[in-house]
């Protein structure tokens, strides 16, 4: 399908391959998928509750000093507020970028400290991955996130127990851009736009593994925002979308 601004939508799944921190091998196989949202609707969050024509853009794996600043500049030009799910080690390495995220009015969420598959860790190490990330964010911007985006979307009963004990929320998504896998900007845009629903939570990335390019994300964002605004959508942070506080008090 050709849009009025010359873009071609052609939804295409990438060829599975290993790529940076978002290794496809760590994602649970479809045969093992469990409807955790159905079991824990107030804890495992996939989308907003009210079917308003608004969308929450979320960006995983930052902050870094290459792609995160570029995405922040694009969002500023577009006047869009988003949610950044941050890795604790990268918060430690790039505190000034995290400060820029907060100054710009975006929401910060927890994406673990080392980006492990939490389901492969014992309970106390899961807790440490979450709490040390919140501590790093608190030291940097004086905020303690309430939302946790589990790496690879991998959770089990032990992960849920830890999140409940910490009085936090698991932040999932219902639209996956698959941008981490080296897609072009047209493919990223197509993956988002062909799956958008009211109050969708969109998974994108603002950093990646060594040598990983997110140029497709940077270039796709203006088109995604333009098309959705033309269709009557607005953009929200995750706390606005869900009506829940972004930070612990």
Report cis status (omega within 30 of 0) of the bond before 196.
no
d(CA 53, CA 198): 5
Catalytic residue among 60, 61, 64, 179: 60
Q: Is the pLDDT of residue 25 over 70?
A: no
Catalytic residue among 94, 111, 115, 205: 205
Strand partners, 3: none
Q: What is the mean pLDDT of residues 26-47?
A: 76
Q: What is the mean pLDDT of residues 188-192?
A: 97
Percentage of the chain modeled with pLDDT above 70: 87
Helix and strand totals (H; E) in the chain: 9, 9
Q: What is the mean pLDDT of residues 5-30?
A: 47
Q: CATH homologous superfamily for 46-241?
A: Glycoside hydrolase/deacetylase (3.20.20.370)
Q: Which residue has the tokens 């940077």?
A: 218
d(CA 166, CA 235): 29
Catalytic residue list contains 77 = no
Residue 200 is inside which H or E element, if any? Answer: strand 200-205
Catalytic residue list contains 60 = yes
Residue 209 is predicted with a pLDDT of 85
Cβ-contact 56, 238 below 8 angstroms: yes
Cβ-contact 67, 210 below 8 angstroms: no
């Amino acid at each position: 399908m050709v849009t009025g601004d010359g873009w071609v939508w052609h939804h295409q799944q990438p060829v599975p391959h290993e790529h940076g921190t978002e290794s496809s091998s760590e994602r649970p196989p479809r045969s093992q998928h469990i409807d955790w949202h159905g079991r824990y609707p107030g804890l495992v969050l996939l989308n907003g509750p009210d079917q308003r024509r608004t969308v929450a853009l979320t960006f995983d794996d930052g902050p870094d000093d290459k792609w995160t600043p570029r995405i922040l500049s694009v969002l500023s030009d577009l006047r869009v507020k988003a949610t950044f799910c941050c890795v604790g080690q990268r918060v430690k390495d790039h505190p000034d970028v995290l400060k820029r995220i907060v100054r710009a009015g975006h929401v910060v969420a927890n994406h673990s400290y080392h980006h492990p598959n939490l389901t492969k860790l014992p309970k106390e190490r899961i807790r440490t991955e979450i709490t040390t990330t919140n501590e790093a964010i608190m030291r940097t911007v004086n905020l303690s996130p309430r939302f946790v985006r589990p790496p690879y979307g991998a959770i089990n009963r032990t992960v849920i127990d830890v999140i409940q004990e910490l009085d936090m929320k698991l932040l999932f998504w219902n639209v996956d851009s698959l941008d981490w896998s080296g897609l072009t900007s047209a493919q990223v845009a197509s993956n988002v736009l062909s799956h958008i629903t009211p109050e969708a939570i969109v998974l994108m990335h603002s950093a990646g593994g060594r040598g990983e390019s997110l140029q497709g994300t940077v270039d796709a964002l203006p088109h995604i925002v333009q098309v959705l605004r033309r269709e009557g959508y607005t953009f929200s942070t995750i706390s606005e979308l869900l009506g829940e506080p972004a930070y612990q008090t």
